[in-house]
């Protein structure tokens, strides 16, 4: 009986060893699964963080595009205004060049009607001396660096006239008014 009991004890020990090996294999498999789950969770968290960052970057990019579009609209509006001003200035230059080459001379610089005003002044009968003007035709600068200062200081007077008699002044005013000056 002792041999049989020892054989049974040996078989029982082998069964226990097999069960423990199975538990050990299951535990190792669980550890491997747990590591896979942890890796998958880390990848998920990284992907989620990248998605949030991409969403923030996308929102910032949209804001930047909108700001640039708004800036472009302002620049385009300014460009159109400046282009219009350049065209107006070029038109005025062409008109002045045309007037100066058409024989109307310097007087045309004081307005398109100035040559007509000068003809009316020349043909009118004055009580005193004939009025002088436009005064700018009688002003010459020795140094052109003062041109802007002169224009700012007395620029509006350069297109004016000087009369020696009060009645002549009234007639001169009528001639100027009739010609829109």
Does the pLDDT value for residue 116 go beyond 80? yes
DSSP conformation letters of 72-109: HHHHHHHHHHHHHHHHHHHHHHHHHHHHHHTT-GGGGG
Does the pLDDT value for residue 75 go beyond 90? yes
20-46 residue pLDDT tens: 888 888 888 888 889 998 898 999 999
82-99 residue pLDDT tens: 999 998 888 777 766 665
So where are the chain's domains?
Answer: 1-102, 105-178
Per-residue model confidence (pLDDT) at position 161 = 87
Q: What distance in Å separates the CA atoms of residue 174 and residue 159, rounded to the nearest whole number?
A: 16
Per-residue model confidence (pLDDT) at position 100 = 55
Give SS3 for 25. helix
Q: What distance in Å separates the CA atoms of residue 69 and residue 112, rounded to the nearest whole number?
A: 43
Residue 103: what are its φ and ψ, rounded to 5°? 90, 0
Per-residue model confidence (pLDDT) at position 64 = 92
pLDDT category at 104 given cuts 50, 70, 90 is very low
The β-bridge partners of 162 are 132
Handedness of CA 21, 22, 24, 25 (dihedral sign): positive
Q: What distance in Å separates the CA atoms of residue 11 and residue 172, rounded to the nearest whole number?
A: 141
pLDDT category at 79 given cuts 50, 70, 90 is very high
């Amino acid at each position: 009986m002792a041999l049989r009991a020892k054989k049974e004890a040996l078989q029982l020990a082998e069964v226990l060893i097999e069960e423990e090996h199975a538990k050990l294999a299951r535990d190792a498999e669980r550890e491997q699964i747990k590591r896979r789950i942890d890796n998958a969770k880390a990848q998920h968290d990284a992907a989620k963080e990248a998605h949030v960052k991409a969403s923030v970057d996308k929102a910032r990019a949209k804001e930047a595009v909108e700001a640039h579009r708004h800036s472009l609209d302002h620049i385009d509006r300014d460009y159109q205004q400046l282009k219009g001003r350049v065209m107006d200035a070029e038109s005025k230059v062409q008109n002045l060049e045309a007037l100066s080459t058409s024989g109307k001379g310097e007087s045309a610089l004081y307005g398109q009607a100035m040559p007509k005003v000068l003809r009316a002044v020349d043909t009118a009968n004055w009580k005193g001396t004939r009025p002088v003007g436009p005064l700018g035709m009688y002003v010459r600068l020795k140094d052109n660096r003062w041109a802007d200062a002169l224009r700012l200081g007395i620029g509006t007077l350069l297109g004016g006239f000087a009369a020696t008699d009060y009645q002549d002044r009234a007639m001169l005013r009528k001639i100027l008014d009739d010609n829109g000056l």
